[in-house]
Amino acid sequence: MEKQAVHCIGCGALIQTEDPDEAGYAPKSALEKEQVICQRCFRLKHYNEVQDVPLTDDDFLKILNRLGQVDALVVKIVDIFDFNGSWLPGFHRFAGKNPVLLIGNKEDLLPKSVKRAKMANWMKQQAKELGLRPVDVLLVSAAKGHGMDEAMVAIEQYRNGKDVYVAGCTNVGKSTFINRIIRQATGEKDVITTSYFPGTTLDMIGIPLDDGTSLYDTPGIINHHQMAHFVGKNELKVITPKKEIKPTVFQLNEQQTLFFGGLARLDYIKGGRRSFVCYVSNALKIHRTKLENADDLYARQLGELLQPPGKAEAADFPALVRHEFSIKEGKTDIVFSGLGWVTVNEPGAVVAAYVPKGVQVMLRQSLI
Ligand code: GDP
């Protein structure tokens, strides 16, 4: 008789006992336990250590494609500090006809001065530009629980008795969100793996809801254009804000440059002396220099003074790509996907923003 398939309670991968290098590996002894956890999740949980698992983008896409074939509410989670980086390109096609509730996570990191409604509006407008018309846009902090009651009410309302699929790119806080829902609904703790490391939730995990329907955790798609994928796990801790961001103000003259570690750069080209307000992780060092010295400094100090990337990664770090902007409207944010943004208070500035190839940088109306 065929044995019933067992899934890891951490990541949802199908448990196998043959190949330690493949997803879902667990030693035979682990199978005797009532709740089986794969070795990868075990290590992650107990030693905070990631193991790479060869799950191809194709596998992820296949899993996501199932979304279009079901009749459900899709909850799409994005990281508000990495909106574009954490967007799944073509998501509206995956979702098919299903209604999508868009949730921006990590609200706890926003300074008080940032208007939540403006952030939600911006998300709505961005989603529309990317081809998605969500039924609603909400902000939450899955970690702190802010907005979670409202999110649960909205899910209940929009799902209309159907299953719920939670989708999102890796590292947006999808597992934290689902864990929070489960905990609020049942009192169980940390059922799904959460971590700093992108790509820890595999395959779909079904969580039964009281009425016989299910809440599904879809895998976190790895979006190779995310800033998070250009840095190692220690550096990821530096660029991921842990608590409310404290803006840092720089008074810059024309022809001055700011480096955000070695990950991004902002040249102030023209527009007279003015202030630039930086909203990035408090742990990320911002370095000011003269524009004329910037290239040289970067060439000499990447991985040293300008970290992250760390010393070991500096050699392979992709060259930064320059994007020039002329700021014509009032208060404007220069948004660096995955890092944060810089607010310019008055129009009339010419700047150049640099990010690794594929990472987005864009202007938006300030959220203050
Ligand atoms: P997943 O890959 O989308 O499942 O993301 P995880 O739930 O594993 O979370 C990724 C990272 O974001 C972890 O370091 C979490 O601690 C962090 N995180 C998740 N939710 C929040 C939140 O609401 N606020 C903050 N500040 N961090 C969060």
pLDDT digits (tens, 9 = 90+) for 159-178: 888 888 888 877 888 888 88
- What is the rounded CA–CA span in Å between residue 96 and residue 197? 29
- DSSP per position, 270-318: ESSSEEEEEEE-TTS-EEEEEHHHHHHHHHHHBTTTB-SSPHHHHTTPP
180 lines ligand 1 (CB under 6 A): no
171 lines ligand 1 (CB under 6 A): yes
Q: Is residue 233 part of a domain?
A: no
Which atom belonging to ligand 1 lies closest to the Cα atom of 105? 23
Do 258 and 295 lie in a common domain?
yes
- What is the rounded CA–CA span in Å between residue 206 and residue 217? 7
Return the DSSP state at 221.
B
Count of C-beta atoms within a 10 Å radius of residue 34? 5
- What is the rounded CA–CA span in Å between residue 163 and residue 211? 10
201 lines ligand 1 (CB under 6 A): yes
Of the candidates 305, 297, 310, 317, the residue with the CA atom closest to the CA atom of residue 357: 317
218 lines ligand 1 (CB under 6 A): no
223 lines ligand 1 (CB under 6 A): no
The SS3 of residue 81 is coil
Residue 211 confidence (pLDDT): 66
Residue 179: phi, psi to the nearest 5?
A: -55, -40
Do 254 and 117 lie in a common domain?
no
Do 42 and 72 lie in a common domain?
no
Q: What is the mean pLDDT of the chain?
A: 85
Do 90 and 122 lie in a common domain?
yes
Q: Is residue 229 part of a domain?
A: no
Candidate of 138, 170, 176 to mutate for ligand 1, largest count of ligand atoms within 8 Å of Cβ: 176
Which atom belonging to ligand 1 lies closest to the Cα atom of 146? 23
Residue 286 confidence (pLDDT): 98
143 lines ligand 1 (CB under 6 A): yes
Do 72 and 212 lie in a common domain?
yes
Q: Is residue 344 part of a domain?
A: yes
Closest residue to atom 9 of ligand 1, CA basis: 173
Do 63 and 200 lie in a common domain?
yes
- What is the rounded CA–CA span in Å between residue 285 and residue 129? 33
Is ipTM > 0.95 here? yes
The SS3 of residue 351 is strand
**pLDDT tens across the length of the chain (368 residues):** 445 788 887 777 788 999 887 878 898 888 887 778 888 777 666 654 545 454 556 666 776 777 888 888 999 999 999 998 888 778 888 889 999 999 999 999 999 999 999 999 999 999 999 999 999 999 999 999 999 999 999 998 998 888 888 888 778 888 888 878 877 766 555 555 554 444 444 445 556 666 667 677 666 666 667 788 788 878 888 998 889 999 999 999 999 999 999 999 999 999 999 999 999 999 999 999 999 999 999 999 999 999 999 888 898 899 999 999 999 988 999 999 999 999 999 999 999 999 998 899 999 999 98
Residues 6 or more apart from 140 whose CB is under 8 A from it? Answer: 103, 104, 105, 107, 146, 147, 148, 150, 151, 177
Do the Cβ atoms of 253 and 273 come closer than 8 Å? yes
Q: Is residue 231 part of a domain?
A: no
142 lines ligand 1 (CB under 6 A): yes
Do 16 and 32 lie in a common domain?
yes
Per 3-state DSSP, what percentage of the chain is helix, strand, and coil (rounded to 5)?
25, 30, 45
The helices-and-strands tally (H runs, E runs) of the chain is 9, 16
82 lines ligand 1 (CB under 6 A): no
Cis peptide before 309 (omega within 30 of 0): yes
- What is the rounded CA–CA span in Å between residue 185 and residue 282? 34
State the distance from the centre of ligand 1 to the C-alpha of 141, rounded, in angstroms.
9
Closest residue to atom 12 of ligand 1, CA basis: 173
Count of C-beta atoms within a 10 Å radius of residue 319? 9
**Residue 80, domain extent:** 57-223
Candidate of 64, 194, 237, 282 to mutate for ligand 1, largest count of ligand atoms within 8 Å of Cβ: 194
CA distances from 108 to 104, 143, 155, 242, 244 (A): 11, 8, 21, 9, 6
